[in-house]
Amino acid sequence: MQRLSFGVALALLALASGAPRAQAPAVTVPQVTIEADKPGPAIAPTMYGIFFEDINFAADGGLYPEKVKNRSFEFPEALMGWKKSANADAQGEFAVRSDRPPSPGNPHYVRVTSKAGSYGITNDGFRSVSVEAGKRYVVRMLARRVSGTAGLSVGIENARMEESGSATIASVPAEWGVVTATITPPVTNTRARFRVRLEGPGAVDLDMVSLMPADTWKGRPNGLRADLVQLLADLKPGFLRFPGGCIVEGRYLETRYEWKKTIGVPADRTTIINRWNDEFGHRQAADYFQSFGLGFYEYFQLSEDIGAEPLPIVNCGMACQFNTNELVPVDQLDPYLQDALDLIEFANGPVTSVWGKRRADMGHPAPFNLKFIGVGNEQWGPQYVERYAVFHKTLKAKHPEITLIASAGPSPNGDRFDFLWGKMRELGADIVDEHYYMPPAWFLSNANRYDKYPRTGPKVFAGEYAAHENVPQARQDRPNSLNAALAEAAFMTGLERNADVVPLASYAPLLAHVDAWQWSPNLIWFDNLRSVATPSYYVQQLFGQHKGTTVLPATVSGLPASGIEGVFATASRDAATGDVIVKQVNPGPQAREVKLALNGVAPGAGGRRIVLTGDPAAENSLQRPTIIVPREEAIAQIAAGHVERLGPHSLTILRVPAGGGAGRASPSR
């Protein structure tokens, strides 16, 4: 387009100046050629997946929509989040205790004693408690009557103690038992608190004090937040990686992720500190802990719900090397190996096996069909290699059916990276996990990264990536701009073109609470009631929904389609529909016109064009969630000589029905 305008401008100039009529310079429109009759490698169904880590309040107060913070009184500051709630003439006291708790896993609870009036405690929630008018919220607590016969009153209130809905619990059992109530707030309140009070003299012990929406994903009690899971499902993800990320490693081995402590009855799941609590001095979150209400059973269930392969990462006897580098001696790895073996049994074992029975007891007798395990997260160095080798030997001997993923460390290149790749080739790792949080320009210049990778040996899991815009030092967050998203899209054309090398890829991190994040950018932002998809989300979604099943060779002006004439392109064939799918990214500021040559197919009528474009600096927000969203239109027919205009800063996906046999919509070859 730029050339065309330039050519027209020259001609106009010649006319205006009275100069003898010269021939306008020939305008060459680059040609994108798709060889639809020369199918390349298969695109793995897993190709585009999800990376979940409990960072940025992604779990408690996020995907796990608990509204009560420190519900089990296990934070080191045991009353963090809790305050007195009392009407004017009320008297009483409350204190944390640990004698005869309901679960040894969470040994603390609170005793509330009311001497007069309506007296109790109130919880701040996760950066406040937010409720929507007319929606139902379920209160569930473990309670034990100590004295008196007063019932409990539970409610949502603002700082002035004005109610936004309440309910009563008529009686409390003499021994620990579950009490419940449902609150339906008549008004929406985004800055509320949750309170529990005794309505008369007496004392009660309370633990696992919970307030959760009734309308969860699939309506499951204590289930996941429906709007967030819907966003995940809409990605059509090939896999779900969990639980991270550095959280797998822990700052210390003691606080590493131990999956066995995250299953079973929620009250028995021991709360621990979240490693992102104080990782970044400028983004501390002293109240960030893990209740494990979202635990391994829920991760497997979520994977199944959204049609994603579960992809757990296990600790390999190493705490985070950026923090402590605590190591388990190589000859003492057995408990860690056993955890991995038991995990396979938990996921896949028969109900007659120890861990298969635990799964069945939790409500899922059928296996979860686990196929992948990652050994360690971002580990590096000889210490990782020797530990990985032990895991590899044991797991391959006992479970050759499981694909093992090894680390390439935290950087996309360099000595550590090269060392690990060399060792992982020697050890015969199935897949190596590469991470890159780099500027947009890196993604553009690395769109051909995998064109050059060996075709034998371990494959690649692009396990964590995101384009990080350069920002002034004073700015804490990095924008989720369209510019960053298009750089990721350009890079992803290279992933897809090299589907024989890259069977798995996931943007990271996934979720972030707007009032409580530690890391940015992220794929999805949310507050206590709303959520918003970023431009990067839409790139992931479009690639996931239009991935196709087989790569088709694509070139621009006869060259690999990786930035030639400013265009990044990839093409595929979708076996289910027969469609040829062409993805073209124009990250630059000038529109580009390209001739489309579809060799080997006869394009049918009724195609679709999906475009993601806009101001490159634009971001979506909770207030303005649709500034950058994909727009779709019908295409009548792709004719021979078809010229596609790729707008500035755009991703364009064409779906061309090509179910019939060979043909040619090709202006030239």
- The binding site for ligand AHR (CB under 6 A) comprises 53, 55, 244-246, 377-378, 410, 435, 464, 508-509, 519
Q: Which is nearer to ligand AHR, 54 or 430 (CB)?
A: 54
As a whole number of angstroms, the distance between CA 79 and CA 69 comes to 10
- With tokens 């694509």, the residue in question is 554
The least CB distance from residue 316 to ligand AHR, in Å, is 14
Peptide bond preceding 350 in cis form (omega within 30 of 0):
no
The least CB distance from residue 424 to ligand AHR, in Å, is 17
Report CA-CA distances (Å) from 643 to 169, 538, 557, 669.
Answer: 69, 25, 14, 15
Q: Are 520 and 532 in contact (CB under 8 A)?
A: no
The least CB distance from residue 245 to ligand AHR, in Å, is 3
Enumerate the β-bridge partners of residue 437.
Answer: 466
The least CB distance from residue 518 to ligand AHR, in Å, is 9
Enumerate the β-bridge partners of residue 112.
Answer: 94, 204
**Side chain identity at 14, as an amino acid letter?**
A
Q: Which is nearer to ligand AHR, 508 or 524 (CB)?
A: 508
Q: Which is nearer to ligand AHR, 262 or 518 (CB)?
A: 518
Q: Are 287 and 57 in contact (CB under 8 A)?
A: no
Q: Are 506 and 51 in contact (CB under 8 A)?
A: yes
CA-closest candidate to residue 484, choices 377, 353, 619: 619
The least CB distance from residue 408 to ligand AHR, in Å, is 12
| CB contact burial 239-264 (16+ within 10 A = b; e otherwise) | bbbbbbbbbbbbbebebbbbbbbbbb
Catalytic residue among 66, 157, 345, 378: 378
Secondary structure in 3-state letters for 11-63? HHHHHHCCCCCCCCCCCCCCEEEEECCCCCCECCCCCECEECCCCCCCCECCC
Peptide bond preceding 245 in cis form (omega within 30 of 0):
yes
As a whole number of angstroms, the distance between CA 433 and CA 221 comes to 35
If residue 213 lies in a helix (H) or strand (E), which one and from where to where?
strand 202-213
Q: Which is nearer to ligand AHR, 431 or 556 (CB)?
A: 431
Dihedral angle sign, alpha carbons of residues 481, 486, 491, 497: positive
Q: Which is nearer to ligand AHR, 440 or 587 (CB)?
A: 440
The least CB distance from residue 270 to ligand AHR, in Å, is 22
Q: Which is nearer to ligand AHR, 296 or 346 (CB)?
A: 296
Q: Are 514 and 526 in contact (CB under 8 A)?
A: yes
The least CB distance from residue 182 to ligand AHR, in Å, is 37
DSSP string, 518-567: SS---SEEE-SS-EEE-HHHHHHHHHHHT--SEEE-EEETTEESEEETTE
CA angle 490, 491, 496 (to 5 degrees): 100
Q: Which is nearer to ligand AHR, 410 or 479 (CB)?
A: 410
As a whole number of angstroms, the distance between CA 119 and CA 88 comes to 10
DSSP string, 169-191: E----SSSEEEEEEE--SS-EEE
Enumerate the β-bridge partners of residue 157.
Answer: 163, 193
Q: 541 phi and psi, to 5 degrees? A: -65, -45
Report CA-CA distances (Å) from 297 to 301, 363, 368.
Answer: 6, 9, 10
Active-site residue flag, 378: yes
The least CB distance from residue 215 to ligand AHR, in Å, is 30
The least CB distance from residue 445 to ligand AHR, in Å, is 22
Tokens, residue 29: 């429109």
Cβ neighbours of 379 (radius 10 Å): 28
Q: Are 626 and 60 in contact (CB under 8 A)?
A: no
Q: Which is nearer to ligand AHR, 40 or 509 (CB)?
A: 509
Q: Which is nearer to ligand AHR, 437 or 568 (CB)?
A: 437
Q: Which is nearer to ligand AHR, 521 or 648 (CB)?
A: 521
Sequence-ordered list of residues with C-beta below 8 angstroms from that of 221, at least 6 positions apart, any chain: 138
Sequence-ordered list of residues with C-beta below 8 angstroms from that of 623, at least 6 positions apart, any chain: none
Q: Which is nearer to ligand AHR, 68 or 462 (CB)?
A: 462
Q: Which is nearer to ligand AHR, 271 or 518 (CB)?
A: 518
The least CB distance from residue 294 to ligand AHR, in Å, is 16
Catalytic positions = 378
